Chains A and B, each alone.
Chain A
């Protein structure tokens, strides 16, 4: 019973980190309708900025975290400006954007391989990882609770932004139809920049927590595959779907690791993807994307 509860908490905590990544990815997908494979790069940029600031200046985590969010957000905006906008302006073939994003993901990963080296790095112990006892039922680490809480805070803030602000309204409109939103007077280029900034910043939060949970290395961005899978399970382009899908994925992964074998956890993730595609390909909350003929 205790182990079960513990694994559920761990699963929710891992799932909430996936949710931070998956939501940003889904947000971009809902506007531009392409899979941004460079999304994992933003996560790595966030992680390394946080690591660099903590190591060189020894400041507290709040400052380092804030700068890392801003840095990853700006990197995401720059990626969009440099690589996606020229393509976007010329053609509406999303395949080209997809390939450019693949290229950007390779570029970002290898910049860090060259600049920072391929070594695994541990973030300084700024986030408490002490065990916490849960009324005698289960023991979990403070880190797991903290990542769960911060994910909830950031996702709540995103929800407020999308529902209560003018730009949030514009983003929701653009998710229905970017072209029409543009015709209604929304500055589409600025809107896309804002979306990329938000996606990059959320990925950085995920990146910081992932580099504490595992370690920091240039290929850490590959973990976004799981966020993509979570987004598909929840329904591509749907934000609540991305959150629910991520939580399901986190739980499935942790329960498999805890009760079956930790080698099986990735296999479980991918079989969940295949099962979703077989049974309900639009995911839990997805719009219908099947061919209409």
Chain B
């Protein structure tokens, strides 16, 4: 396998991990985020600092990166997710910008806007694929668990689900924390893949991209999120020669998908049920 193909597959795995996290939050719990790149940044920087400054092995460092993202998600989620409305969406932009500014200005720890070079290239293909598979199995089990069904219930009708005894605010916060963990791990892997990270890599554009992928694949479909990642990552590679128009096409696609097929490619169905459907006996 050539280095280029291998690189794209690693990138696919990383993007897919982040997309699964965002899909849980946006697709299954119905919360819109514009700051998930901040959780990636937290994961990436924590891992980089732990491995380089403190000589920690990369595997526990990646986990720590995820955990730092979870802690920050908890702190931001508790005040904002109690509220209905776009409070979390706005707070997430604020969070994204604030974290980027802190990373840029905290020279002594993060080395500022010039970026953090010399990260061990620990994200090899087996590592990325292995972590992706483990996290994917976890996520597919999670969305079919009691918790996953509770998330969907909160998304579809929070009054009804709270009458049924679900603590909807807590479910939203936990969902955010899990999605932050996935993004933190994805960020940590990205750092190991590029062996260089920079605050500007985790700006609002990246956050939008994360959400856009999930919307494109289908809100409420985990396999849709993976399909969306594959399509967008590969199309981005194809569009590299006309990079000037890339963002324009990207925004237009987002609007057109919302107007024509707001449920995305997969709707809220999973790939597996789609394949099985023709064989199912009618009840």
Contacts and interface: CB of A to CB of B under 8 A. Distances in A.
B145 interface: no
Contact of A106 (B84, B86, B247): B247
Contact of A86 (B89, B212, B259): B259
B251 interface: yes
Interface of B, helix, strand, loop or mixed by DSSP: helix
A15 to B, nearest CB: 18
Given A83-B258, A103-B258, A232 B158 contact: no
B90 A98 contact: no
A87 B262 contact: yes
Interface of A, helix, strand, loop or mixed by DSSP: helix
A270 interface: yes
A266 B254 contact: no
A153 interface: no
Interface stretch (A107-115, A121-129, A171-179): A107-115
Given A103-B252, A232-B90, A267 B80 contact: no
A23 to B, nearest CB: 16
B124 interface: no
Interface string B97-118: 1100110010000000000000
Given A225-B94, A267-B98, A95 B255 contact: no
Interface string A214-241: 0000000010010011001000100000
B86 A98 contact: yes
A176 to B, nearest CB: 16
A98 B32 contact: yes
Contacts of A290: 82-84
Nearest to B97: A270
A27 interface: no
Interface string B251-268: 111110011001000000
B24 interface: no
Contact of B259 (A100, A107, A263, A282): A100
B141 interface: no
Interface residues of A, number: 51
B251 A107 contact: yes
Given A99-B32, A236-B85, A277-B87, A105 B251 contact: yes
B98 A270 contact: yes
A100 B254 contact: yes
A35 B86 contact: yes
From A96, A102, A110, A236, name the one whose CB has the most chain B CB atoms within 10 angstroms. Answer: A102
Interface string A109-143: 11101100000000000000000000000000000
Nearest to A264: B105
A293 B164 CA distance: 11
A84 to B, nearest CB: 9
A80 B251 CA distance: 16
Interface string B51-90: 0000000000000000000000000100110111111011
A245 to B, nearest CB: 12
B207 to A, nearest CB: 10
A111 B244 CA distance: 10
B255 A33 contact: no
Interface of A: 29, 33-35, 37, 82-83, 86-87, 90-91, 93, 95-100, 102-107, 109-111, 113-114, 222, 225, 228-229, 232, 236, 263, 266-267, 269-271, 273-274, 277-278, 281-282, 289-291, 293
Closest 8 pairs between A and B when the two form their complex, measured CB to CB? A106-B251, A103-B254, A107-B251, A103-B255, A110-B248, A100-B258, A270-B98, A35-B86
5 contacts: A95-B219, A225-B94, A266-B101, A267-B98, A273-B90
Interface of B: 26, 30, 32, 34, 76, 79-80, 82-87, 89-91, 93-95, 97-98, 101-102, 105, 158-159, 162-163, 168-169, 204, 208, 211-212, 215, 219, 244-245, 247-248, 250-255, 258-259, 262
